[in-house]
Amino acid sequence: MATSLEVRGVSLRFGGVRALTDVSFAINEGELFSIIGPNGAGKTSIVNCISGRYKPTEGQLFYQGRDITGLTPNARASLGIGRTFQNLALFHHMSVLDNIMVGRHHLLKNNFLTGSLYWLTGARKEELEHRRKVEEIIDFLDLQSMRKATAGTLSYGLRKRVELARAMALEPRIILLDEPMAGMNFEEKEDMARYIVDLNEEFGMTVVMIEHDMGVVMDISHRVMVLDFGKKIAEGDPAAVLADPHVRRAYLGEEDEVLVDPDDAPPAQESAA
């Protein structure tokens, strides 16, 4: 199976604070890969390094075999790397439709000068094609009834869905989802999980997801990586990772079980007759 993304020995420091230490992993084409760990483990930091928001202090990142360590976020988006954010980054005063259209800005071929000759340069045809793509995304995410609504007036769960739509509008080959289900109720989580699985299976997108809901992670992920204090402590099949004692101790707060040999056990006190 071809490798989509490879992270080699990435470390990230902010002054004297180490956010990541020598993190390495690879994600295959068409995989749904989840990154989990307790708060402050470095999950968003590694996604920020992949998207270009942060530049690693040490290490390299490769996408489709190409070294992208020094590329800007815009250059990475043009290569096919899209993302959503833990904290919503929508234009709240704009409509749902316009927010999604913003996601297609790097795909526009007409510039300010050619766009001014709207009917002669193909700008109109290009805009219609982009709107058609956006309408497909709106249908896929069941946003038809709110397509003209102002984004800031929507519920939190719907705004998260709009942000996913905008990331999809980039037409990424790999999409980074930073806590896509945070703050949602059970029904909203079920819907979002279904959309993510369909993104992976029907659209063929490679998905990298940070998520705290262990039930969702175990149900839909192909592989899982666990971070703790900026270091990778486990990676592999979801069930095997969850059974790892280091993971259970770090993520679930479980202590190692102390086993006592019966021969070493203190003698039971005899009760007074």
Q: What is the pLDDT of residue 122?
A: 53
CA of 20: how far to CAs of 184, 209, 228, 257, in Å? 28, 18, 9, 29
The pTM of this model reads 0.82
Q: What is the pLDDT of residue 18?
A: 94
**CA–CA distance, 231 with 105 (Å, rounded to integer):** 36
Q: What is the pLDDT of residue 139?
A: 94
Q: What is the pLDDT of residue 113?
A: 43
Q: What is the pLDDT of residue 258?
A: 37
The token pair at 194 is: 């279904």
Task: Give 20-85 as a DSSP string.
Answer: EEEEEEEEETT-EEEEE-STTSSHHHHHHHHHTSS--SEEEEEETTEE-TT--HHHHHHHTEEE--
**CA–CA distance, 219 with 79 (Å, rounded to integer):** 30
Cβ atoms of 114 and 121 within 8 Å: the answer is: yes
Pair type for strands 58-63 and 66-67: antiparallel
The domains found in the chain, sorted by start residue, are: 3-264 (3.40.50.300)
Q: What is the pLDDT of residue 170?
A: 87
CA of 178: how far to CAs of 77, 160, 216, in Å? 16, 11, 14
Of 91, 49, 92, 45, nearest to 71 by C-alpha is 49
Q: What is the edge-to-edge ordering of all strands in the sheet holding 206-210?
A: 81-83, 174-178, 206-210, 32-36, 223-228, 231-236
Tens-of-pLDDT digits for all 273 residues of the chain?
Answer: 799 999 999 999 998 899 999 999 999 999 999 999 988 899 999 999 999 999 999 999 999 999 999 999 989 988 999 998 876 668 888 999 988 988 776 555 544 444 444 444 455 666 777 788 889 999 999 999 998 999 999 998 899 999 999 999 888 999 999 999 988 889 999 999 999 999 999 989 999 999 988 889 999 999 999 999 999 999 999 999 989 998 888 766 655 443 334 344 444 444 443
